[in-house]
Amino acid sequence: MGNCGTREESATTSDTNNDGNQLQVTSSLEKKRSRSISGLSEPSTPRNDMNISEASRNNAMSYNTITSFTMFELETVTKSFRSDYILGGGGFGTVYKGYIDENVRVGLKSLPVAVKVLNKEGRQGHREWLTEVSLLGQLRHPNLVKLIGYCCEDDNRLLVYEFMFRGSLENHLFRKASVPLSWSKRMMIAYGAAKGLAFLHNSEWPVIYRDFKTSNILLDSDYTAKLSDFGLAKAGPRGDETHVSTRVMGTYGYAAPEYVMTGHLTVRSDVYSFGVVLLELLTGRKSVDKTRPNKEQSLVDWARPKLKDKKKMLLIIDPRLQDRYSLRAAQKACSLAYYCLSQNPKARPLMSDVVETLEPLQHGSSNDATLSSSMSPLAGGGGSDNRMGHRFVRTVGSAGGCRSRNMDCAQGTPVPCRVR
């Protein structure tokens, strides 16, 4: 499942057979499109008030430890799980909007929350619930959704998260009624999500997220990206281990090909999934879209060959951006996606390098990131940790503040814009 902030179409992957070689995808035949977060009616809290969301963010910071809630308290929070409080649903169960304050328990700070209720008949069960509690109870980062608390009472399993006011990236990218995201917002979201993944990969015991996709990236009121739904997360290899062998689980269209084929999981499996999401941000297309012509249904198969050509790569950029971006920044983002989607896992960059590359691309500024010559497909391998050949470096470009394909600079820019 994956959304603590808005409805999403159900698209979850079940366990594979004993060989672990296939992804089995179960998806809703009738795709239920959601109401936007701003359209949800919550009687106890004002709507569309950024001051409220700022206050909520500050209050969320006060929840430094996970709270154990009773079932009665969470029934109070969600008004007995009223149907008009439903935000979304998926493999885990149903997600409800709620509000906690001192009326629920003395001493609790006022905070809108999302309450995820385990579907007792569903495929994802206690193990996934326990994984989320264990991971999010230990790992805290600005780009991970904050776990406020949980409930484990009789056979009830619930999770309580901070509420994300703008819902999922999936809805912002693919809902027809949504306002197209600007280039800067897309790169800011990619940057934030990359920082979340890098944090997981660089923790004392590396964590492989395993289900990185647009529906699991939630957005705060200021478009800060936060990763959600850690039910499939897995402890990564340590020491001399090269990979973790596990059943193939995830979402079709995002899973790395070597993981699907062998069940061998590494942090670079997440890098591939990140490349798919970055491609979705660049093109405005879904990873898999059966409504398109056969050759365009798989986004990676259709777009990756074009990422190698500086002219062709610009033809795949989302037309809704209306050329409001720097050519140089677009080329660097496309090059980054190309290497993240490499068939060879060792040829993919580390997420720490991805973060370094994306940071200057958020505004298409003069600090455009470039791929070092060692990133060439012809370059040899690196050291024992495979870091050489994957290092991204920053150079000062001459794109200035230009955010358009036109050669003219924005008004007031002191230095002429030259896009090579």
Which residues are marked as active site?
211
| Chain-centroid distance, C-alpha 187 | 12
Strand partners, 168: 218
Cβ-in-10-Å burial (0-12, 13-18, 19+) of 359 comes to middle
CA–CA dist 400, 411 (Å, integer): 12
Q: How far is CA 114 from CA 93, 140, 143, 347, 359, in A?
A: 12, 18, 17, 39, 30
Nearest partner of 300 among 325, 274, 326, 322, judged by Cα: 274
Spatial contact of 74 and 160, defined as CB atoms under 8 Å apart? yes
116 labelled as ligand-binding?
yes
Give the DSSP per-residue string, 297-312. SBHHHHHGGGGGSTTG
Spatial contact of 272 and 251, defined as CB atoms under 8 Å apart? no
Supply φ then ψ for residue 140, to 5 degrees. Answer: -125, 130
The CA-to-CA distance between both ends of the chain, in Å, stands at 43
CA–CA dist 119, 350 (Å, integer): 36
Number of residues that make up the chain: 420
CB atoms within 10 A of CB 383: 8
Longest dimension (CA), the chain: 68
CA–CA dist 301, 287 (Å, integer): 10
Spatial contact of 87 and 39, defined as CB atoms under 8 Å apart? no
Task: List the binding residues.
Answer: 116
Task: List the binding residues for ATP.
Answer: 116
